[in-house]
Structure 1
Amino acid sequence: MSTTERTRALRRHMIVEARRATVEHGLHGFTIEQLCETVGVSRRTFFNHFASKDDAVLGIEINADVEVIDEYAAGGVVPGELDPLDSVVALAIDQFHRIGIARSDEVLIRQVFEREPALVARFLSATDVQLARITESVRRRFAWDDPTDRRARLVTEAAAALLKVTAETYFDDAFDEATGPAFEALLTENLRLLRAVTTTERESTT
């Protein structure tokens, strides 16, 4: 296992244990020191990865994807011939490969929000910040330098909508993981459906 993989596994371990502790005891029912003891890391190590206990519970890691987003903005990470929407979806798939995704994660975070509803607003705020970062990276990648150009925002919001619909399907209790498509395949299919319906609508009006 590489250093990057070990770091990723450690971060994931801290996130899962923080969420489990929150579900069991509430956000204020355990300390960072207790979490560190459970995971087997020092307080200093914890703060190398997370700015606060809340961030650990929500999985908001310090500078976790800055390098990847910067590389994407510079034309890397995903194939350069992809159009803007395809490239953002490919970036999302790349991130899922890097961090992994499991339906059990969604169940746990749902339980966290049920126990601590106030964290929902914090999560939504963090999501808005991330969307803004992705929007700026799209702007840089495709050299849309005019600050009034709305294309980067439209592309990012469209990709976010695709991810939302895909996640709602994949994490639904009725979804059969054994027979259903993988998250990546489902996201790719939803992108195909979106393009098909928009193309059909365009052709029908010409």
Structure 2
Amino acid sequence: MSPTERTRTLRRRMVVEARRATIEHGLHGFTIEQLCETVGVSRRTFFNHFASKDDAVLGIEQGAMSELLAAYADGSLVPMDLDPLGSIVALAIEQMHVVGLDRADEALVRRVFDAEPLMVAKFLAAADVQLAAVGQAVRERFGWIDPDDRRAQLVAEAAAGLLKVTAGTYFDDAFDESTGPSFDALLTDNLRQLRAAITTTGQDHTA
């Protein structure tokens, strides 16, 4: 296992254990020290990855998104010949590969929200911050620097809608992961359908 893979595995253990502890004891029913003891890491290691216990529960790793967005903006992460919406979809796929995608873990998140409803608002606030950061990265990548140019925001919001629809399908309890498409394939197909919907006259129902 490479150092990068070990780091990702450790980060994932901290997130999963933070979520399990929240479900069992509530967000205020355990300390960072107890979480570190369970995972077998120091406080210093914990804070190298997460700014707070809340961030660990939500899986918000310090600096991880900033690095991805910087690489996206300068063209070193996804090909520069992609159009704006396609480039964000490619970015989302890269992010999923870095963070990892686990339907069982998503079920943990739902249980966290049931146990701590206030975490939903924190999750939505974090999503808004991330969406704004994606929009800024799109501006930098495509040179849309005019403050009145709303294309970057529109593209970022459209991509967020694609991800929401894709996640809604992929994480649905009725979805069969063994026979259904991968998240990447589902997201890519939803992008295709969105493009078809935008360009169709409304008469062709087979696009």
Given the two structures, how large is their TM-score scaled by the length of structure 2? 0.95
Q: How many Å apart are 1:87 and its aligned residue?
A: 0.2
1:166-205 alpha-carbon deviations (Å, 9 max, x no partner): 000011111111111111100001000000111113999x
Q: How many Å apart are 1:99 and its aligned residue?
A: 1.6
1:73-122 alpha-carbon deviations (Å, 9 max, x no partner): 11221111100000000000011111210111110000000000001001
The reply to whether residue 177 of structure 1 matches residue 171 of structure 2 is no
Residue 34 of structure 1 is matched in structure 2 by: 34
Residue 155 of structure 2 is matched in structure 1 by: 155
Taking the TM superposition and a 5 Å limit, the aligned residue runs for 1:69-148 are: 69-148=69-148
Amino acid at match of 1:106: E
Residue 20 of structure 1 is matched in structure 2 by: 20
Residue aligned with 1:28, SS: coil
Q: How many Å apart are 1:3 and its aligned residue?
A: 1.8
1:4-55 alpha-carbon deviations (Å, 9 max, x no partner): 2211111111000000011111111111111000000011111111111111
Residue aligned with 1:177, SS: coil
Q: How many Å apart are 1:2 and its aligned residue?
A: 2.0
Residue 190 of structure 2 is matched in structure 1 by: 190
Amino acid at match of 1:96: M
Whole-angstrom CA distance in 2 between matches of 1:33 and 1:85: 42
Identity among equivalent pairs (%): 70
1:136-177 alpha-carbon deviations (Å, 9 max, x no partner): 000000001101100000000000000000000011111111
Whole-angstrom CA distance in 1 between matches of 2:141 and 2:118: 36
Whole-angstrom CA distance in 1 between matches of 2:43 and 2:78: 36
Whole-angstrom CA distance in 2 between matches of 1:68 and 1:161: 20
**Structure 2 residue ranges without an equivalent (≥5):** none
Residue aligned with 2:201, SS: helix
Q: How many Å apart are 1:61 and its aligned residue?
A: 1.0
After superposition, the Cα gap between the structure-2 partners of 1:150 and 1:203, relative to the gap in structure 1 and judged at 3 Å, is: farther
Q: CA RMSD in A?
A: 1.3
Residue 7 of structure 2 is matched in structure 1 by: 7
Given the two structures, how large is their TM-score scaled by the length of structure 1? 0.96
Amino acid at match of 1:158: A
**Structure 1 residue ranges without an equivalent (≥5):** none
Q: How many residues align?
A: 204
Residue aligned with 1:27, SS: coil
